[in-house]
């Protein structure tokens, strides 16, 4: 028997070879979402750029999110490998340039270039797997991707903290290694994909929807600027915020018109007539919001309330990673064995809801073992849900739409994550602004001696720099920590109904028989035949 199975699928050995390159590419993008955050303080100090520090994150999010759906369509037209490798090269150029940046403005520009590559890495990983593995067999491999997500969620803060804590490593400023570490990983991904990723390119007549692409990118940029920059910085009713929302609304309507007129739309609106595509898109948005918006608060809680270092807080997220990896592997193997997938997003979102609900019970002195259980439950929920909805989606769409539909799913999850982080961050800040004065006034009235050394200037610093807490008496610290805990409670209370809404849509998901290897190969051949015919 040849390396290829009789049904036209690649052998397990060939799939694993492709998978290794894809996982390295995905690790690049996933790691960069978490590694920068813990090093931002040191970077800002070096560049004296506090007023622009949010743009280091926002520039990456803007270009990575906006470019995600474009990669799927372009790879449908020009082939997966060259487009995926273009994304790797773009990301590596951006990484090298960001590591060598000499000013804050340079760093922001190069982070945007990194994000442009990351959009392709995130989207095309799942598209390529959809090409080479049938939906029925895909579950066997989804645990590997869960492992990459879990690894990045723990390794990112750990490495970011390690590099930023060292003034110099091998004669280079420590924080610059958060970008330079991408270079060997990316080069290995290039070599592996060059050797193993050989998906036949289907020749077809094509026409890029440049107008639709321009409107889409501009609209997403306006939305993300409104929710992640102008809203939090200037207020949600400020002229800048309202203008950005207005531009987004106008461009959204223009996009709908442009796509109905385009010969080959960048995002075919007919896809939304597919029940599974619509439901999984909504679920991806909700899971993204719940995952990024809620779990990002756990390291903050560990550092602010329980006094952990950034490195220690990263290590304490390991139960979260274990939950993702273990349930990704279990659900994937079970799906491949029995062919049923609907139960897993339902179970997953129930577990996420329970975990987030339990997070509302956190206190100043909650023992770590309890937090570990809560985080593991959320991770298990994500492991059951995140990759399963991609399998359901890829099983339900035509093979010719595999790229654009899969990248659209990644896009909705990214937008959900960005909006979730912003909204929950605003909820936290508003709750803290109300609770801090109450806590301080309570301590002042019940124990005036505990206010020794406290000044209005120090209290004003608390919102942005919790290091000032060390200058307060233990009694005052305890009262203030209680206010911070209530801020975290507000976030988890807000996240809970979001996850429960996702559960409603999980019940609405229709379960279809998963395509086998033979069915998958036939659909691929039919798509190629339609293209050439």
Residue 173: helix, strand or coil by DSSP? strand
Determine whether domain 271-429+492-511 maps to CATH 1.20.1250.20: yes
The yes-or-no answer to whether 11-197 and 271-429+492-511 have a common fold is yes
DSSP state of 401: G
Helices (H), 166-264: 177-180, 182-196, 210-225, 231-234, 239-261
Joined tokens for residue 216: 């889409």
Nearest partner of 30 among 138, 134, 114, judged by Cα:
114
Q: Are 222 and 75 in contact (CB under 8 A)?
A: no
Q: For position 122, what pLDDT does the model report?
A: 81
Q: For position 351, what pLDDT does the model report?
A: 95
Q: Mention every residue, 6+ apart, whose C-beta is less than 8 A from residue 192.
A: 17, 20, 21, 24
Q: CA-to-CA distance for 366 and 369, rounded, in angstroms?
A: 9
Q: For position 508, what pLDDT does the model report?
A: 92
Q: For position 6, what pLDDT does the model report?
A: 43
Q: For position 302, what pLDDT does the model report?
A: 85
Helices (H), 305-401: 310-315, 318-338, 343-359, 368-396
Q: For position 5, what pLDDT does the model report?
A: 44
Q: For position 361, what pLDDT does the model report?
A: 93
Q: For position 2, what pLDDT does the model report?
A: 39
Q: How many angstroms from the chain centroid is the CA of residue 528?
A: 33
**Which residues of the chain carry a pLDDT beneath 50?**
1-7, 529-533
Q: pTM for the whole thing?
A: 0.80
Residue 337 C-beta-side C-alpha neighbours within 13 Å: 6
Q: CA-to-CA distance for 375 and 356, rounded, in angstroms?
A: 8
For the chain, which residues make up each domain, given as ranges?
11-197, 209-265, 271-429+492-511
Q: For position 531, what pLDDT does the model report?
A: 45
Joined tokens for residue 9: 């699928």
Convert the pLDDT of each residue in 295-304 to its tens digit: 678 877 887 8
Residue 105 to residues 47, 48, 69, 112, 229, Cα–Cα distance (Å): 10, 11, 27, 11, 16
Tally of CB atoms within 10 A around 434? 12
Q: Are 238 and 225 in contact (CB under 8 A)?
A: no
Nearest partner of 299 among 90, 72, 488, 63, judged by Cα:
488
Q: For position 205, what pLDDT does the model report?
A: 55
Q: For position 113, what pLDDT does the model report?
A: 92
Residue 108 C-beta-side C-alpha neighbours within 13 Å: 16
Joined tokens for residue 272: 């939304």
CATH topology of domain 11-197: Growth Hormone; Chain: A; (1.20.1250)
Convert the pLDDT of each residue in 204-240 to its tens digit: 556 677 788 888 888 888 888 888 778 877 888 899 8
Taking the CA atoms of 305, 306, 308 and 314 in sequence, report the sign of the dihedral they define: negative
């Amino acid at each position: 028997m040849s390396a290829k199975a009789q049904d036209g699928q690649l052998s397990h050995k060939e799939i694993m070879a492709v998978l290794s390159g894809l996982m390295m590419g995905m690790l690049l993008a996933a790691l960069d979402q978490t590694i920068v955050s813990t090093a931002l303080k040191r970077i800002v100090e070096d560049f004296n750029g506090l007023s622009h520090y949010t743009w280091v994150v926002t520039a990456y999010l803007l270009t990575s999110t906006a470019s995600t759906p474009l990669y799927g369509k372009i790879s449908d037209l020009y082939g997966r490998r060259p487009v995926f490798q273009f994304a790797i090269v773009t990301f590596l150029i951006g990484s090298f340039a960001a590591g060598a940046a000499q000013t804050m403005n340079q760093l922001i520009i190069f982070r945007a270039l990194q994000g442009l590559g990351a959009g392709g890495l995130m989207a095309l990983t799942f598209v390529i797997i959809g090409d080479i593995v049938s939906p029925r067999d895909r579950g066997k491999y989804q645990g590997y991707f869960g492992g990459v997500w879990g690894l990045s969620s723990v390794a990112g803060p750990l490495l970011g903290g390690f590099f930023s804590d060292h003034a110099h490593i091998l004669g280079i400023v420590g924080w610059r290694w958060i970008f330079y570490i991408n270079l060997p990983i990316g080069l290995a991904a290039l070599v592996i994909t060059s050797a193993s990723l050989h998906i036949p390119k289907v020749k077809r007549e094509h026409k890029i929807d440049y107008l639709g692409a321009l409107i889409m990118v501009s609209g997403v940029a306006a939305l993300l600027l409104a929710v992640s920059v102008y809203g939090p910085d200037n207020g949600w009713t400020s002229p800048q915020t309202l203008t950005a929302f207005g531009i987004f609304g106008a461009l959204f309507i223009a996009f709908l018109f442009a796509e109905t007129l385009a010969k080959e739309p960048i995002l075919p609106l007919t896809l939304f007539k597919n029940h599974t595509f619509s439901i999984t898109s909504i679920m991806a948005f909700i899971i993204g919001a719940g995952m990024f918006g809620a779990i990002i608060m756990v390291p903050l809680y560990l550092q602010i309330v329980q006094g952990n270092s950034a490195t220690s807080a990263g290590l304490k997220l390991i139960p979260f990673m274990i939950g993702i990896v273990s349930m990704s592997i279990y659900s994937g193997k079970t799906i491949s064995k029995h062919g049923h997938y609907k139960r897993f997003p339902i179970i997953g979102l129930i577990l996420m809801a329970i975990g987030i609900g339990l997070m509302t019970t956190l206190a100043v002195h909650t023992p770590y073992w309890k937090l570990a259980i809560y985080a593991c439950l959320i991770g298990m929920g994500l492991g059951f849900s995140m990759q399963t909805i991609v399998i359901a989606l890829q099983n339900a769409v035509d093979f010719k739409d595999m790229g654009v539909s899969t990248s659209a799913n990644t896009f909705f999850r990214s937008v959900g994550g960005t909006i979730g982080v912003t909204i929950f961050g605003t909820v936290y800040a508003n709750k803290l602004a109300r609770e801090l004065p109450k806590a301080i006034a309570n301590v002042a009235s019940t124990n005036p001696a505990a206010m020794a050394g406290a000044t209005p200037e120090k209290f004003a610093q608390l919102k942005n720099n919790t290091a000032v807490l060390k200058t307060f008496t233990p009694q005052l610290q305890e009262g203030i920590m209680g206010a911070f805990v209530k801020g975290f409670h507000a976030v988890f209370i807000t996240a809970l109904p979001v996850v429960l809404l996702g559960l409603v849509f999980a019940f609405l998901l229709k379960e279809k028989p998963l395509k086998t290897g033979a069915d998958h190969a036939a659909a691929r051949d039919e798509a190629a035949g339609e293209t050439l015919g």
